[in-house]
Amino acid sequence: MTRFPLAAAAGLVAALALTACGGSSSSSGKPNPNAPEKSPPGDIPDNQAFVRFAVPGRGYSVKVPEGWSQRRGGGAVVFTDKLNTIRLESRPASGPLTVAAAKRTEVRALKRTVKGFKAGTVSQVARTAGPAVRITYLARATVNPVTGKSGTDAVERYVFFHRGKDAVVTLSGPKGADNVDPWRLVTNSLRWTR
C-alpha cells in the first residue's frame, strides 16, 4: 500500500476545497455577468418610466421621467432627481433659430449667465417635432449641501420653433454620465398642442 506524504495530502485537500468554493471572476480575468451594474453618478436607469407632461399655457407637451420632483418659477417648469434636471420653457420668436444666430446670441447670453460656462457645440438636429438647434456646454453644478463641493454638469439645450414661439428644453446632468438615450427620448417626445 502506497502512503501519501502528509504535506501532499494537505495540498490536495486545499486544492479541492478551492475548486468546490468556486473562483472569483477577478482571478479568471472574465467579467461576472451577475455582478451589479456600476454606473457613473447621474446615469438615468435604463428601466426609468416616462410620462407625458403638458407644459401649462405653452402649447407643447414632452415626456419626463416619472417620479421626478417638479417646481415652477421664472416662467419655467423644472423636473429634478438627484443630479439630473430637465427645464422646460417657452418664449415668443419671429422665426426658427439658426445655428449662426444661436452662436451670436444664445451662446453669448449663456456665457454671461451660467456659472462655469464652457462652450461645446452648436448644431441643428432632427427630432420628431421638427428641426431644433442643439447647444451643448459645461456648467458648474449646484453645490452639494453636505460636502460644500460642486462638480461639472454637461448641458444640452434644444430650441424648437412653432407658430411664433420657441420651446426651449434644457437637459443637464453630471459630466461623464451616460444619458444619451433618455435625453433623446425626451427631445423626441416633444409634441405641439397648438
| Per-residue pLDDT tens over the stretch 58-81 | 999 999 999 999 999 989 999 999
Tell whether 118 is covered by a domain. yes
- β-partners of residue 88 are 77, 169
- Nearest-angstrom CA–CA distance, 79 and 71: 7
- β-partners of residue 69 are 80
Tell whether 73 is covered by a domain. yes
Tell whether 95 is covered by a domain. yes
Tell whether 10 is covered by a domain. no
| Burial letters 93-117, b for 16+ CB under 10 A, else e | beebbeeeebeeebbeebeeeeeeb
What number of other Cβ atoms are within 10 A of residue 119's Cβ? 14
Asked if residue 38 has pLDDT above 90, the reply is no
Tell whether 78 is covered by a domain. yes
- Nearest-angstrom CA–CA distance, 165 and 194: 11
Tell whether 24 is covered by a domain. no
Name the domain count of the chain: 1
Tell whether 145 is covered by a domain. yes
What number of other Cβ atoms are within 10 A of residue 132's Cβ? 24
- Domain extent at residue 65: 50-192
CATH number, position 92: 3.40.1000.10
pLDDT digits (tens, 9 = 90+) for 127-161: 999 999 999 999 999 888 788 889 999 999 999 99
Write down the pLDDT at residue 28: 55
Tell whether 80 is covered by a domain. yes
pLDDT digits (tens, 9 = 90+) for 162-181: 999 999 999 999 999 999 99
